[in-house]
Amino acid sequence: MDKIIVEGGNRLEGEVTVSGAKNAVLPLMAACILTEGRNTFMNVPDLADVRTMAKLLKILGAEIYYENGELSVDTTHLNNWIAPYELVKTMRASVLVLGPLTARFGCSRVSLPGGCAIGERPIDQHLKGLSILGANIQIEEGYVETTAPKLQGKIIPFDISTVTGTENIMLASVLAEGETVLLNAACEPEVTELAVVLNKMGAKIQGAGTDIITIRGVDRLHPVEGHEVMPDRIETGTFMIASALTQGDLLIKKCRFENVGAIVGKLLEVGAEISRVDGGIRVRGSDRIKSVDITTLPYPGFPTDMQAQIMTLMSIADGLSVITETIFQQRFMHTGELRRMGADVKLVGNSAVVRGVPYLSGAPTMASDLRASASLVLAGLAAQGKTQISRVYHLDRGYERLDKKLETVGARIWREEE
Ligand code: EPZ
């Protein structure tokens, strides 16, 4: 296991390039189950979660090749519809194979995802959607078993906005008989990206990006060739905060301004200077970091995946900030570690009250989940002295060489064996 060491105090200056989006490529890989042939994607990030999904697809019988950001998924000989507990427990997004396996094989046996550091994350909405489409659902020995002769298109009202729930049911319904309408669908850009690729495969999906998505069932889908995965909006936001935190001047390349509107809005309130440049965003941090209140919301609201990162920024802001987490029950695992660095954070219900302090002090810390580890790296950039972050396998699940990218723009950051 690696640990990351950061020596704080440097301003970040220069250019960083954003990688492809983890939360886009995972459902795209699951979508390959619906085709019989070789699908290829570009701009695929080299992440632990991508490797985990590749391992799962191989268990199902797919042939996977990955090199220099190019991924090929050949599903011609898919012959297995069982996703084992040993693998699903390591990555909740494995549940995304439930819908496509049921659509392709008429059955599936997928381990229920376990608990998670950021909260109890049920999949009742995924199962509700599959059941409405006509699947018979059994839960036994910790597995979900679905059987369905042929899924029938229906109106599916989601009780809450769920990203992978929307994606799973979209994946299940593209080969169903007739029309499916998703109500209260998630509007995240990664949902739209999935619809774009499914339509490239021959699906007939309209309305992605809004809360009403219509899918007209088709008989078969064909493989997609050379789709470039969208840039990661959370990695983009993480670099934006890194610049604001260090009074830096970063040009963040290969990102989509239109996907980070809520983050831009908050950082403008904080006092950062932000400009849209061709294919990127320039963020300059100001000396004074103003305290602002943040409430996480479904897209296009402020993303929950940026909550830990902006808490780090608020921990050295000039006043009081109330950060309210409305998506997950306990996504405050990072507060304990930030406190060890001198942050003044009090949890009140599903809010964190952050009183800015003049500076953070470097300390040995431990990552608990993906975005918490990013918030600790950011804290290390701003802290006085040396910060050590252990269990960085959490970070490597969702960021491609974040430490290397930060080093190229002036951070004193390196890895050591744990
Ligand atoms: C996706 O998770 C992302 N993961 C998460 O990113 C992200 O935080 C989340 O959406 C919210 O934006 C991927 O896309 C692979 P949800 P997902 O279903 O789909 C509850 C990261 O750091 N819920 O939108 O699992 C759930 O408990 C990860 O990259 C139900 O109650 O999230 C949560 O409170 C972390 N029943 C809320 O809805 C269900 O059937 C939103 O969850 C499904 C969800």
H or E stretch at 7? strand 2-7
Residue 123 CA, ligand 1 centroid: distance in Å? 9
Over the chain (418 residues), what is each successive 10-residue block's mean pLDDT? 95 98 98 98 97 97 98 97 93 96 97 81 95 97 94 98 98 98 98 98 98 98 98 98 98 98 98 95 97 98 98 98 95 96 97 98 96 98 98 96 98 95
Residue 319 beta carbon below 6 angstroms from any ligand 1 atom: no
Alpha carbon nearest to ligand 1 atom 30, residue:
122
CA of 144 from ligand 1 middle (Å) equals 18
- Ligand 1 pocket: which of 127, 162, 350, 395 to mutate (most atoms <8 Å of CB)? 162
CA distance 172 to 277: 39
Alpha carbon of 417 to ligand 1 centroid (Å): 32
Peptide bond into 300 cis (omega under 30): yes
Q: Is 388 helix (H, G, I), strand (E, B) or coil?
A: strand
Supply the pLDDT for residue 228: 98
Q: Is 113 in the pocket of ligand 1 (CB under 6 A)?
A: no
- Give the count of beta carbons closer than 10 Å to the beta carbon of residue 376: 31
DSSP per residue over 197-226, as a string?
HHHHTT-EEE-BTBSEEEEE--S-B----S
Identify the three-state secondary structure at position 277: strand
Quick check: pTM over 0.85?
yes
Cα separation values, 136 from 102, 319, 410, Å: 10, 54, 56
The domains spanning 2-19+231-417 and 22-224 adopt the same CATH topology: yes
Please count the CA atoms within 13 angstroms of the CA of 227 that sit on its side-chain side. 26
Per-residue tokens: 270: 């904080």
- For ligand 1, atom 42: residue with the closest CA: 162
Which of 250, 221, 219 shows the shortest CA–CA distance to 237? 250
Catalytic residues, by residue number, are: 116
Cα three-residue angle 269-273-274, rounded to 5 degrees:
95
Closest residue by Cα to residue 29 from 7, 59, 5, 9: 59
- Per-residue pLDDT reduced to its tens digit, 130-188: 999 999 999 999 999 999 989 999 999 999 999 999 999 999 999 999 999 999 999 99
Q: Which CATH class for the 2-19+231-417 domain?
A: alpha beta
130 lines ligand 1 (CB under 6 A): no
Say if strands 155-157 and 179-183 run parallel, antiparallel, or are unpaired.
Answer: parallel
CA distance 171 to 34: 8
Per the CB < 8 A criterion, the answer to whether 318 and 289 are in contact is: yes
Dihedral of alpha carbons 197, 201, 203, 206, sign: positive
R_g (Cα) of the chain, nearest Å:
21
Output the CA 298–ligand 1 centroid distance in Å: 10
- Report domain extents, the chain: 2-19+231-417, 22-224
Tell me if 228 CB under 6 Å of ligand 1.
no
pLDDT at 117: 80
Phi/psi-derived region of residue 40, left when phi > 0, alpha when psi is between -120 and 50, beta in every other case:
beta
Fold classification of 22-224 is UDP-n-acetylglucosamine1-carboxyvinyl-transferase; Chain (3.65.10)
Tokens coding 414: 């390196």
Per-residue pLDDT at 330: 87
Q: What is the pLDDT of residue 179?
A: 98
